[in-house]
Amino acid sequence: MGDMDGEHLYTIGELARRTGLAVKTIRFYSDSGVVPPTDRSPAGYRLYDLDALVRLDLVRTLRELGFDLAAIRRVLDRRVSVPEIAAVHADALDAQIRTLRTRRAVLRAVAERGSDPELTEQVREHVESARASGIDPASDRARTVLDGIIARSCAAFGETDSPEYRAALLTRVETANDPRTERCFQLLGIMNGWPPIPTLVPVFDWFVQSLRHHPVP
């Protein structure tokens, strides 16, 4: 270990202790040129100055925030500022959050659809009967069918019919009508040797339209 113009130089081991990063990780950043060594000892060991320590701390922080090495290199090379790259990553995270929310909604729809197959079958039977009778989902006759279905749903799940409940139900049914939900049940049926599962898309379409036209009990 030595000094360079009176400045203390750190070994990889010292950097590891100060930053909490593994020696292997620091060596990787060093080899990739993100945090190159400042000097080498007479024995050939890498040495780093205070600037390298600060850069390494910044690299660790940015990595924890999800920045990739290419973005970090642009920041360290001062080709882009941290606020600029942070704005890009924030936009990317917004997109990821929207995707995750959609996935969560689909998974919940799968869980709810499979949690009470008897109720699902009742909904299917009543809606298919209404469709076969030519009942327009926007009509007063459709309201009667819808009220009956919602009453059974509320009884099954311990809910109370209200505009808020119908709005939440509309969201769930729209999600349940996602092709991925349908495909999930079709694949489960194939794997378990179930009889062919009829599509519920026409049922859900009618149900959604009826809920939109009759949002209030």
80-101 pLDDT tens trace: 776 777 777 777 777 777 766 6
Separate counts of helices (H) and strands (E) for the chain: 10, 4
For 3-37, the pLDDT digits (tens) are 444 468 889 999 999 888 999 999 999 998 888 88
Total domains, the chain: 2
pLDDT over 60 at 190, yes or no: yes
- Report in angstroms the alpha-carbon separations of 12 from 42, 83, 102, 142, 190: 15, 30, 44, 73, 56
Residue 149 lies in a domain: yes
What per-residue confidence (pLDDT) applies to 5? 46
Instruction: Indicate whether 207 and 103 sit together in one domain.
Output: yes
Instruction: Indicate whether 57 and 101 sit together in one domain.
Output: no
Burial grade of 15 (CB within 10 A; 0-12, 13-18, 19 or more):
buried
**What CATH number does the domain containing 14 carry?**
1.10.1660.10
Which residue would you say has higher pLDDT here, 92 or 102? 92
Residue 16 lies in a domain: yes
Instruction: Indicate whether 122 and 201 sit together in one domain.
Output: yes
For 53-85, the pLDDT digits (tens) are 888 888 888 888 888 888 888 888 887 776 777
Tell me which residue of 180, 182, 188, 175 sits closest to 201, measured CA to CA.
182
Domain that holds residue 11: 3-80
Task: Tell me the whole-structure pTM to 2 decimals.
Answer: 0.47
Instruction: Indicate whether 102 and 42 sit together in one domain.
Output: no
Instruction: Indicate whether 143 and 57 sit together in one domain.
Output: no
Structure tokens at 172: 């769930």
